[in-house]
Amino acid sequence: MTQGEMTGAKALWATLVGHGIHTVFGYPGGAIMPVYDALTFYPEVRHILTRHEQGAVHAAEGWAKATGEIGVCLATSGPGATNLVTGLADAMMDSVPILAITGNVARHLMGTDAFQEADITGITLPITKHNYVVREVEELPRILAEAIRIARSGRPGPVLVDIPKDIQLAPYSGDIPVPHARPEAPAPAPEAIERARELLRNANKPVIIVGGGSLDAAAEITALARAWQIPVITTLMGLGAFPASDPLWLGMPGMHGSVAANRAISEADVLLGIGLRFDDRVTGRVSGFAPNAAIIHVELDAAEIGKIVRTHVPVRGDAAAAARLLSEGAQRRDRPEWHAQLARWQARTQKPDRWGAAYAVQAVTERLRPDDILASDVGQHQMLAAQLARFERPRRWLNSGGLGTMGFGFPAAIGAALAEPGVRSVVIAGDGGFQMTAQELATLKKYDIRNVKICIINNAYLGMVRQWQELFHERRYSEVWLGDSNPDFLKLADAYGVPGYRADSAEHLPGAIDAWLADPKSALLEVVVPHEHGVFPMVPAGAALSEMIEQEPARSIPGNERNPTAEEAKGA
Amino acid sequence: MTDPTPRDHLVSALVRDEPRVLTRITSLFGRRGYNIKSLSVGSTEHPGVSRMTFVVTGDRGVVEQAMRQLEKLHDVINIIDHSLEKYVDRELVLVKVAITPESRVEVRQIAEDFRARIVDVGRHALTFEVTGDEGKITAFIEQMRPFGILETMRTGRVALTRGSNADIPTHVYHAGETQALKPAVEGVEPREERARGVPNLF
Ligand SMILES: Cc1ncc(C[n+]2csc(CCOP(=O)(O)OP(=O)(O)O)c2C)c(N)n1
């Protein structure tokens, strides 16, 4: 290929560059080699080679979650493409705009079970917002432009474009499309807004609950809550959409939500939900969710309105526009009894004072600056981080909410760190989940990325599963012990040239955190914590929010004699 | 207020005529547990646009949710819930009825009353073609049942709204491009895309 000839592969890069896309995450292979070859003609594109396609797609997600812009990842056909599946499902559940580009075998081989062929569009049909197989080279640039538009518009999501190898090589003589204008979100219906205002005006115990769909409406929602003096609950995905320092903030609702948030929902007479989908981890048993409340639901995706909870006032439209309209008619009303009640509940929040995972997560998150990004993996440490971190602004909290994908946190933090090189990108991970994508330490090394700070909370268990076994399976700890086979995490980091620090007590923690954060390079901190701590409060699965267990129960269940407990297993 | 009793709902979807559209739609229905009772698909007067008619059984809420999920699919151009307007619907069935020398005349007589056409004559069976709305077809089958129905094949219902407006919006996306569609009949304007969204019912 010479500089002059335009091919499908070159048209791909030209289209991405034309859309302002300059960073992509990927992994090459036979069926996408023409695209990688064409990359050498586009020095303005930075390609980040991860060590696994799952790392690439999560990094693209981290990029997208931190910036609000589309994240792009590339993979070859067959095994490369199927390695994207988890990340695409994750992006679908959390409404993350992702463009995934996969190579495929040449058209004449498609459907013949050729080497490294997989029907990736068939496989990803239910976990992408839309997907394409490009069938003619003339269509490739236009399909890419359309895919980018679909991924970003309305409720964002992942879009996959599968490109047969012969199309990547074919000469292309058409135009390079310019970006589509982002379609306007529908304006909320005035009658719906008026009806919502009326409910808020007459409410005695109102609460606002905001989800991941409201991150770009944080300013408007903050103004709305303050104008009406209505307390705000932020879901796991909505953390940061309302400043944690505001006295109106009640914390997170749901399975590991705060006492104040869950009690407020159970007592509320009007509940204004903005940009959320009433996930079962938020609602608990649906029939017991906000039993006394008239529900106003502001949501862009019409299919979410009325899907889970009955809705009294559906407001379909853009969260920012709706919040602005609702603020306009604000009538500040004093509700001293409601606020006094909320304050009593807020006072029940316990600060972790006993050494353990919660103590460690608290100590780390206390040190975060408002601009710092906090990425979390999945498990107990995730719920602790969500409970304890104090976010002042949106898009600083990256976590896998909808799918709960272990292995997400670290590569997502790398994506965010590359998007915002001036910002500290802190990861909290468990010893289990970190090992699902630990190989991305190589990515830190390869690109000399200096702003990723990894904190592993090492309880030597798949902690969250162990907690469920403790509470609901009479402490029969089945296949959750990692302590016998975990690596030496500091040596692992060292093998990739990443400095490591360790703390195993409350006394050693502050010094270790200081040294870890002060290190000029990306660094890893391992905090060794007691094995069997749980995350509380907790609403047992299937229970109503009002049935929350507030504190870790005293250990009353004796160890099962036939199954060795972990301590015994360790000794063996 | 929503009606909680399960019943049949007749819904048409205008979709882009592209590979996998049918898979996308049926997999969406399957995953969410909506059962499709009947489905017919065919092309429309506009190249690149196909029309599907479904019968979905469920309460109003289930069907509304199914339609909203369908609307989110990029291949779906428009959804028409026929229960909201007057419509004509038809279904075609082939019914093979057992006959004996004694019953032959009577079977033919009933078929004539229903304007059913005989499409195949065998020594022991007659095959009829009947078109009509669901009521007529059900009544025909019930009339024939005592003689012995050997086989039936129904096409699934097809429907159009009554009146002179057309359901296809003036613009559709097709293969990466917006295509302006010409009205099929000059002078009859295709109606604007139905306001998608949730009716604000209070
Ligand atoms: C890919 C994947 N596999 C399995 C699970 C189920 N799961 C949820 S939390 C958890 C334990 C996580 O353990 P660890 O990473 O050590 O974190 P901890 O809970 O101890 O903080 C598991 C196995 C999951 N969420 N994701």
- Say yes or no: CB of residue A457 within 6 Å of ligand 1: yes
Q: Which member of A92, A93, A255, A464 is catalytic?
A: A464
Write out the two tokens for B108: 């033919």
- Interface confidence, given as ipTM, is 0.82
Q: Which residue has the tokens 């003339």?
A: A138
Q: Are A316 and B177 inside 8 Å of each other by CB?
A: no
Q: Are B64 and A306 inside 8 Å of each other by CB?
A: yes
pLDDT at A539: 95
Q: What are phi and psi of A120, to 5 degrees?
A: -70, -30
- Say yes or no: CB of residue A430 within 6 Å of ligand 1: yes
pLDDT at A34: 98
State the pLDDT confidence band at B192, using cuts at 50, 70 and 90: very low
- Say yes or no: CB of residue A463 within 6 Å of ligand 1: yes
State the pLDDT confidence band at A235, using cuts at 50, 70 and 90: very high
Q: Which of B23, B61, B197 sits opposite A302 (nearest CB)?
A: B197
- pLDDT higher than threshold 60 for residue A498: yes
pLDDT tens for B66-113 read: 888 998 998 998 898 898 889 999 999 999 999 999 999 999 999 999
Can you tell me the distance from the alpha carbon of A320 to that of A25, in angstroms, rounded to the nearest whole number? 31
Q: Number of helices (H) and strands (E), helices first, in chain B?
A: 4, 11
- CA closest to B27 among chain A residues: A126
Residues of A in Cβ contact (< 8 Å) with B28: 126
Q: Which of A129, A143, A189 sits opposite B200 (nearest CB)?
A: A189
Contact between A545 and A289 (Cβ < 8 Å): yes
Amino acid at A186: P
The answer to whether residue A53 is catalytic is yes
**Candidate from A399, A406, A436 with most ligand 1 atoms within 8 A of CB, to mutate:** A406
Contact between A130 and B173 (Cβ < 8 Å): no
The answer to whether residue A278 is catalytic is no
Residues of A in Cβ contact (< 8 Å) with B202: 191, 195, 312-313
- Say yes or no: CB of residue A410 within 6 Å of ligand 1: no
Q: Which of B27, B65, B200 sits opposite A125 (nearest CB)?
A: B27
Residues of B in Cβ contact (< 8 Å) with A303: 65, 68-69, 71-72
Strand order across the beta sheet in which A206-210 lies: A249-251, A232-234, A206-210, A270-274, A294-299, A313-316
Can you tell me the distance from the alpha carbon of A548 to that of A284, in angstroms, rounded to the nearest whole number? 10
pLDDT at B63: 84
Residues of B with CB under 8 A from a CB of A: 19-20, 23-24, 27-28, 31, 61, 64-65, 68-69, 71-75, 173, 175-177, 196-198, 200-202
What's the whole-number mean pLDDT along residues A225-238?
A: 97
Can you tell me the distance from the alpha carbon of A536 to that of A495, in angstroms, rounded to the nearest whole number? 36
- CA closest to B20 among chain A residues: A122
Can you tell me the distance from the alpha carbon of A147 to that of A158, in angstroms, rounded to the nearest whole number? 9
- pLDDT higher than threshold 60 for residue A339: yes
pLDDT at B131: 95
- pLDDT higher than threshold 70 for residue A118: yes
A146/B contact by beta carbon, under 8 A: yes
The answer to whether residue A491 is catalytic is no
Give the DSSP letter string of A188-205.
PPHHHHHHHHHHHHH-SS
> Which residue puts its alpha carbon closest to atom 23 of ligand 1?
A462
- CA closest to B71 among chain A residues: A303
Q: Which of B23, B65, B175 sits opposite A303 (nearest CB)?
A: B65
- pLDDT higher than threshold 90 for residue A385: yes
- Report the range of poorest mean pLDDT among A256-260, A319-323, A459-463, B35-39: B35-39
- pLDDT higher than threshold 50 for residue A566: no
State the pLDDT confidence band at B34, using cuts at 50, 70 and 90: confident
pLDDT tens for A147-174 read: 999 999 999 999 999 999 999 999 999 9
Contact between A137 and A170 (Cβ < 8 Å): yes
Rounded to the nearest angstrom, the distance between the alpha carbon of A557 and the centre of ligand 1 is 23
Percentage above 70 pLDDT, chain A: 96
State the pLDDT confidence band at A47, using cuts at 50, 70 and 90: very high
Amino acid at A348: R
CA A373 from chain centre, in angstroms, equals 12
Rounded to the nearest angstrom, the distance between the alpha carbon of A385 and the centre of ligand 1 is 15
Q: Which member of A53, A267, A440, A552 is catalytic?
A: A53
Contact between A96 and A66 (Cβ < 8 Å): no
Alpha-carbon distance values, A257 to A206, A251, A504 (Å): 18, 7, 28
Contact between A405 and A378 (Cβ < 8 Å): yes
The chain-wide mean pLDDT, for chain B, equals 83
The chain-wide mean pLDDT, for chain A, equals 94
Rounded to two decimals, the pTM is 0.92
Residues of B in Cβ contact (< 8 Å) with A142: 175-177
A397 strand-pairing partners = A374
CA dihedral A398, A401, A402, A404 (to 10 degrees): 100
Residues of B in Cβ contact (< 8 Å) with A129: 74
Contact between B59 and B4 (Cβ < 8 Å): yes
Helix (H) or strand (E) holding B95: strand B87-98
The total of other beta-carbon atoms located within 10 Å of residue A139's CB is 18
Q: Are B197 and A146 inside 8 Å of each other by CB?
A: no
Rounded to the nearest angstrom, the distance between the alpha carbon of A376 and the centre of ligand 1 is 12
What's the whole-number mean pLDDT along residues A231-259?
A: 97
State the pLDDT confidence band at B65, using cuts at 50, 70 and 90: confident
Q: Which of residues 41-100 of A touch B (CB under 8 A)?
A: none
State the pLDDT confidence band at A559, using cuts at 50, 70 and 90: very low
pLDDT at B180: 62
- Say yes or no: CB of residue A432 within 6 Å of ligand 1: yes
- pLDDT higher than threshold 90 for residue B179: no
Helix (H) or strand (E) holding A465: helix A463-472
What's the whole-number mean pLDDT along residues A542-564?
A: 69
Q: How many CB pairs under 8 A join A and B?
A: 60
Q: For residue A381, which atom of ligand 1 is closest to its CA?
A: 21
pLDDT tens for A69-116 read: 999 999 999 999 999 999 999 999 999 999 999 999 999 999 999 999
Q: Which member of A33, A41, A116, A229 is catalytic?
A: A116
B129 strand-pairing partners = B94, B117
pLDDT tens for B100-117 read: 999 999 999 999 999 999
pLDDT tens for A412-442 read: 999 999 999 999 999 999 999 999 999 999 9
Residues of B in Cβ contact (< 8 Å) with A302: 68, 71, 196-198
pLDDT at B48: 86
